[in-house]
């Protein structure tokens, strides 16, 4: 070769904002892969007293924190506006009142500094959180599991999303929280169930919702009801309930379905690269089962570090970079879309 | 005098104005806005462009801080505080109810009490009482969230000339007439945020822009219930 190619490319720096639920977050991300600064303000302490996220309270807290959080992200990065190329923000899905706060801060900033505004799908963000750790290899399957989402997504190229399976009722994290509440665990219940399950055995018989033959969709509300009914029956008969075994039985039922459907998706699309994202990716039981799947199938599995699994703006900056490169832009009339469809977001 | 960007998204009426001293450079009022999210920023953009200015040429931001629709108020407050912070401008906040009184006084001056009404559901209102005194200064009786029935009783007891104002007045016409007798006519109310220009003074200055939040005048429902539970008291929301 010998010839020196000009590979010098302008860095793309994105300020990203995420307020879809109960975290107020902002980040500075370079080229979609390098996290320069990251600020996450969690409201969980405030919502705990209600046993779950209260949308109106979440929206109020976002207004209190939004400019503090953005300012800190910019200051931590030691960047000024001349070095920032675009503003990316979560457009949806999420709580509409919460989304609107981040979106309007983003619009005001894009307008004030005359920068492009990049609307980002929250789930695209969860998937691209991985790009901050290692390059994504296409095609890939993404399993997104959180308090609000349970989805299998096929990506044949950057910015291309095809939802091939999704929950028809409760998200997996939602089922965890509801079962945890029944077991008198504090909110959020997922980590508590995971912890309890490790100490117990799956001795209770609980259903697995496979749905119709070949479907990659999920359903967790039946399982949640089965746990509640079973506990109710045992209580009526004055039989002792082992919380550890109940948690283990519930977790086994959830993981059986998640793992089997994920395995089917990998086979059907002949994909060897699995990305797991969302808050439930922190679940140790799930991680152990994924490890077995990896050995059994000889595939590559990427799970972002915990701080990038829960809701955060860094992932929005990573996904926003791909959208930016694909020419995605929003106008000042951009609205929050609480039910934004991932397929429609493909660029 | 300063070049101010003024905005109000507290009710279904969207108002945006750009003023310089007492000169209105541009103003847009859109009635019956279902969605401030889609209209506020394009309207701000249009108003600034109409005046052939850029955001960096602004010298202050005035915003109606509430009360009103929670979502509407938050949209205006978020945009205003973000613009003020990032452009390093002074931020001025005015009660949406006082804004209504200023709008009315500009168009149809009244020597009695102006009673702005914003429907707050369940026969309650966000309201207050504002009167422009002979010396040009304003006196007020404090913004509140109150049952409309109670409010009518208080106003009746006050026994002074009053005028109800606001787009929501027709919703309460029957109740008003039951207490005060038939209203001669219901004048069409129109919001003109350029009349908020007096808010661009030190009296309305927001000390710490970061800490600026809407004036909701009411706790979120979950919080009311939670507080009642903490007190071991009766839940009534």
- pLDDT at B182 (0 to 100): 84
Per-residue DSSP letter, B232: T
Q: What is the SS3 assignment for A339? A: coil
Mutation for testing the B interface, residue in A107, A113, A330, A334 having most B CBs under 10 Å? A107
Q: Residue B126: which residues within 8 A CB-CB, separation 6 or more?
A: B66, B67, B68, B96, B97, B117, B118, B120, B143, B144, B145, B217
Which CA distances in Å does A72 have to A31, A81, A111? 20, 14, 20
Which CA distances in Å does B63 have to A100, A341, B12, B15, B54? 17, 34, 15, 10, 19
Indicate yes or no: CB of B222 within 8 angstroms of CB of A114.
Answer: no
Indicate yes or no: CB of B45 within 8 angstroms of CB of A49.
Answer: no
Q: Residue A195: which residues within 8 A CB-CB, separation 6 or more?
A: none
- pLDDT per residue as tens digits for the range B6-27: 999 999 999 999 999 989 999 9
- pLDDT at A4 (0 to 100): 53
d(C-alpha A162, C-alpha B58), whole Å: 45
Side by side, which strands form the sheet with A300-302?
A162-166, A150-155, A140-145, A273-277, A300-302
* pLDDT-based confidence at residue B183 (cuts at 50, 70, 90): confident
Q: Considering Cα of A282, then B222, then B210, then A116, what sign does the dihedral take?
A: positive
- pLDDT at A206 (0 to 100): 96
What is the residue whose two structure tokens read 């779950």? Answer: A52
Kindly report the backbone phi and psi dihedral angles of residue B146, in degrees, each rounded to the nearest multiple of 5, phi listed first: -150, 150
d(C-alpha B127, C-alpha A42), whole Å: 34
Q: Considering Cα of A91, then A95, then A96, then A98, what sign does the dihedral take?
A: negative
Q: Tell me the average pLDDT across B222-230.
A: 85
- pLDDT at A48 (0 to 100): 87
Q: Which of A71, A100, A111 sits opposite B55 (nearest CB)?
A: A111
Going residue by residue through chain A (347 aa), what tens digit of pLDDT does each one get?
A: 444 555 556 899 999 999 999 999 999 999 999 999 999 999 988 998 888 889 999 999 999 999 999 999 999 999 999 999 999 999 999 999 999 999 999 999 999 999 999 999 999 999 999 999 999 999 999 999 998 899 999 999 998 999 999 999 999 999 999 999 999 998 888 999 999 999 999 999 999 999 999 999 999 999 999 999 999 999 999 999 999 999 999 999 999 999 999 999 999 999 999 999 998 999 999 999 999 999 999 999 999 988 899 899 999 999 999 999 999 999 999 999 999 999 877 77
- Compute the radius of gyration of chain B from its Cα atoms: 18
Q: Quick count: other Cβ atoms within 10 Å of Cβ A53?
A: 21
Q: Which pTM value belongs to this model? A: 0.93
Q: Tell me the average pLDDT across B66-88.
A: 98
- pLDDT at A344 (0 to 100): 79
- pLDDT at B146 (0 to 100): 97
* Min Cα separation A179/chain B (Å): 22
- Whether pLDDT at B187 is above 80: no
Q: Tell me the average pLDDT across B174-185.
A: 88
- pLDDT at B236 (0 to 100): 46
d(C-alpha B3, C-alpha B114), whole Å: 28
Query: Is residue A139 reached through a cis peptide bond, with omega within 30 degrees of 0 on the bond before it?
Result: yes
Q: What is the SS3 assignment for A145? A: strand
d(C-alpha A280, C-alpha A192), whole Å: 12
* Min Cα separation A142/chain B (Å): 32
Q: Give me the half-sphere count of Cα atoms (radius 13 Å) on the Cβ side of residue A136.
A: 31
- Whether pLDDT at B208 is above 90: yes
Mutation for testing the A interface, residue in B28, B43, B53, B86 having most A CBs under 10 Å? B86
Q: Are strands A273-277 and A140-145 parallel, antiparallel or unpaired?
A: parallel
- pLDDT at B235 (0 to 100): 47
Q: Residue B210: which residues within 8 A CB-CB, separation 6 or more?
A: A67, A68, A71, B81, B85
Indicate yes or no: CB of A64 within 8 angstroms of CB of B213.
Answer: yes
């Amino acid at each position: 070769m010998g010839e020196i190619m000009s590979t010098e490319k302008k860095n793309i720096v994105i300020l990203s904002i995420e307020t879809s639920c109960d975290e107020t977050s902002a980040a500075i991300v370079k080229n979609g892969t390098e996290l320069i600064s990251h600020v996450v303000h969690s409201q969980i302490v405030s919502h705990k007293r209600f046993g779950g996220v209260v949308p109106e309270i979440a929206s109020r807290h976002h207004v209190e924190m939004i400019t503090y959080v953005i300012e800190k992200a910019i200051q931590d990065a030691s960047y000024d506006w001349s070095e920032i190329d675009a503003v990316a923000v979560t457009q949806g899905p999420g709580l509409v009142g919460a989304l609107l706060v981040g979106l309007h801060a983003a619009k005001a900033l894009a307008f004030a500094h005359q920068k492009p505004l990049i609307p980002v799908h929250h789930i695209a963000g969860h998937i691209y959180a991985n790009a901050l750790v290692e390059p994504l290899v296409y095609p890939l399957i993404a399993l997104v599991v959180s308090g609000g989402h349970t989805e299998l997504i096929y990506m044949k190229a950057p910015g291309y999303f095809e939802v091939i399976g999704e929950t028809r009722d409760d998200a997996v994290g939602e089922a965890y929280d509801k079962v945890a509440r029944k077991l008198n665990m504090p909110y959020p219940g997922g980590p508590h169930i995971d912890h309890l399950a490790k100490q117990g055995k799956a001795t209770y018989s609980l259903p697995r919702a496979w749905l119709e033959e070949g479907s990659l969709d999920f359903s967790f509300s039946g399982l949640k009801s089965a746990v509640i009914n079973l506990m109710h029956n045992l209580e009526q008969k004055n039989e002792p309930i082992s919380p550890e075994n109940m948690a283990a039985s519930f977790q086994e039922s959830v993981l059986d379905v998640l793992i089997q459907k994920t395995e089917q998706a990998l086979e059907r699309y002949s994909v060897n690269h699995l990305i797991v994202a969302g808050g439930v990716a922190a679940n140790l039981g799930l991680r152990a089962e994924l490890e077995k799947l990896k050995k059994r199938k000889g595939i590559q599995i990427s799970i972002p570090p915990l701080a990038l699994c829960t809701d955060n703006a860094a992932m929005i900056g990573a996904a926003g970079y791909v959208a930016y490169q694909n020419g995605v832009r929003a106008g000042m009339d951009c609205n929050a879309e609480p039910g934004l469809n991932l397929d429609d977001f493909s660029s | 005098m300063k070049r101010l960007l003024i905005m109000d998204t507290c009710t279904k009426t969207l108002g945006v104005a750009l003023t310089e001293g007492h000169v209105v450079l541009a103003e847009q009022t859109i009635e019956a806005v279902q969605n401030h999210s889609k209209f506020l920023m394009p309207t701000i953009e249009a108003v600034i462009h109409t005046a052939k200015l850029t955001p960096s040429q602004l010298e202050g931001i005035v915003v109606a801080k509430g009360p009103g629709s929670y979502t509407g108020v938050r949209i205006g407050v978020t945009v205003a505080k973000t613009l003020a912070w990032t452009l390093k401008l002074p931020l001025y906040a005015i009660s949406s109810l006082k804004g209504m009184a200023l709008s009315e006084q500009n168009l149809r001056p009244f020597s009695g009490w102006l009673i702005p009404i914003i429907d707050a559901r369940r026969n309650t209102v966000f309201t207050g009482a504002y009167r422009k005194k002979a010396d040009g200064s304003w006196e007020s009786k404090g913004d509140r969230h109150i049952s409309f029935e109670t409010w009518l009783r208080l106003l009746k007891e006050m026994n002074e000339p009053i005028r109800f104002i606001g787009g929501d007045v027709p919703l309460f016409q029957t109740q008003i007439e039951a207490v005060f007798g038939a209203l001669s006519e219901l004048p069409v109310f129109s919001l003109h945020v350029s009349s908020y220009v007096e808010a661009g003074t030190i009296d309305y200055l927001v000390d710490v822009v970061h800490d600026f939040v809407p004036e909701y005048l009411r706790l979120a429902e979950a919080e009311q219930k939670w507080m009642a539970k903490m007190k071991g008291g009766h839940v009534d929301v």
